[in-house]
Amino acid sequence: MSEMLSLDFMRNALLAALCVGLVAPMVGIFLVQRRLSLVGDGIGHVALAGVAVGVATRGSPVWSALLAATLAAVLIEVLRARGRTSGDMALALMFYGGIAAGVVIINRAEGAQTGNLTGFLFGSITTTTRGELILFAVLSALIAGTVLLLRQRLFAVAGDEEYARASGLPVLALNITLGVLTAITVVVAMRVIGLLLISALMIVPNAAAQQLAGSFRAASWWAVGLGVVASVGGVSASYQLDTAAGGTVVLLAIALFAVATTVGSLRRALARARHRHAERHLHEHGPGCGHEAVSHGDHVDYLHDGHRHAAHEGHYDEHAHGPQPPPEDSGRVGHEVTR
């Protein structure tokens, strides 16, 4: 570990991985919410064309990639807002055109050797320069700050665009903002995991977080935590195991997803076993419903035919204390929980 940290390029690599692990899931949760999980992939394809132009003109591939990705992201939102069915085809043309143009231009500029091309497609974290690292850190701070400021509005628009529009939120502006954030994330992640695998780090930690969290807020933080573990852990592992960093990061994220799914379903099974619903409950309790309310820890139980009923998700739970009425006392099939 200390040997790894003593290497200059590995320190840079780990810091870059930290940036990516933080911001990719932060932006990705809104893509998952909009059911546009693959859009990051498409923007990555177009970014390759930008990289190629940078390489061919001996300029900076990072800046040209940023420009291409941002333009693509804005165009996607404009096409989506127009809502034409031909928009889908236009996106396909743009995505495949981007990657094809990227490959052709890079090969033309660099001859037959495709080392550089592979580096951009699958990541080449150890070649990250100090200047690039600073740029990535600044861009990551920009992404994180914007998401933290606008997360509720992005959540509202991604969750129910029609309602957001009716309530007067600037829907197109927020969608374009999310698109630009996605584009910047793609470019920041380009060195660490490569343009073909970027989408995975935006999506997979969020898929895992959805298994563990019960609210949007909690899910966002879980996703960031899992993203950092996957990216920093993956880069360290790739050094120890001498494997490709980008692929290792993504495989680790998928392994975390598998663990989260298992933990999530175990937890749900345990919760099911530990409590019973009041079945066929055709009444909704509330203030003035006619049943006495008694406080019970952090919630209220309603006394209902000798049972204590507490709201849980879409049903009522049986919360029992003291003597239990005989089950044939009511038509309800309900058991008691001990909490």
For Zn ion, the binding residues (CB under 5 A) are 285, 289, 291, 296, 301, 304, 309-310, 312, 317, 319
Q: Where does this chain touch another protein (CB under 8 A) — which range of 132-140, 193-201, 312-320, 326-334?
A: 312-320
Of 217, 267, 274, 321, the one binding another protein by CB under 8 A: 217
Q: Which is nearer to another protein, 134 or 149 (CB)?
A: 149
Q: Which is nearer to another protein, 29 or 198 (CB)?
A: 29
Strands 293-296 and 315-318: unpaired
Residue 300 interacts with which of another protein, Zn ion, none, CB < 5 to 8 Å by class: another protein
Contact indicator for 224, 25 with CB cutoff of 8 Å: yes
Site string for another protein, 98-117 (x = CB under 8 A): --------------------
Alpha-carbon Rg for the chain in angstroms:
25
Q: Strand, coil or helix: what is 257?
A: helix
Q: Which amino acid is at 270?
A: L
Of 93, 138, 149, 269, the one binding another protein by CB under 8 A: 149
How many residues bind another protein (CB under 8 A)? The answer is 45
Q: Which is nearer to another protein, 237 or 311 (CB)?
A: 311
Q: Which is nearer to another protein, 122 or 221 (CB)?
A: 221
> What is the per-residue burial (b if ≥16 Cβ within 10 Å, else e) of 292-304?
eeeeeeeebbbeb
Instruction: For residue 332, state whether it binds another protein (rule: CB under 8 A).
Output: no
DSSP for 133-184 reads HHHHHHHHHHHHHHHHHHHHHHHHHHH-HHHHHHTT--HHHHHHHHHHHHHH
Element (H, E) at 185: helix 171-193
Q: How far is the CB of 94 from another protein (least distance, A)?
A: 23
Instruction: For residue 122, state whether it binds another protein (rule: CB under 8 A).
Output: no
Cα dihedral 309→311→314→320 (10° resolution): -40
Of 111, 115, 168, 290, the one binding another protein by CB under 8 A: 168
Residue 122 interacts with which of Zn ion, another protein, none, CB < 5 to 8 Å by class: none
DSSP for 289-333 reads SSS-EEEETTEEEEEETTEEEEEETTEEEEB--SSPPPGGGSS--
**Sites of contact with another protein (CB under 8 A):** 29, 32-35, 149-150, 152-153, 155-156, 158-160, 162-169, 206, 210, 213-217, 219, 281-287, 299-300, 310-315
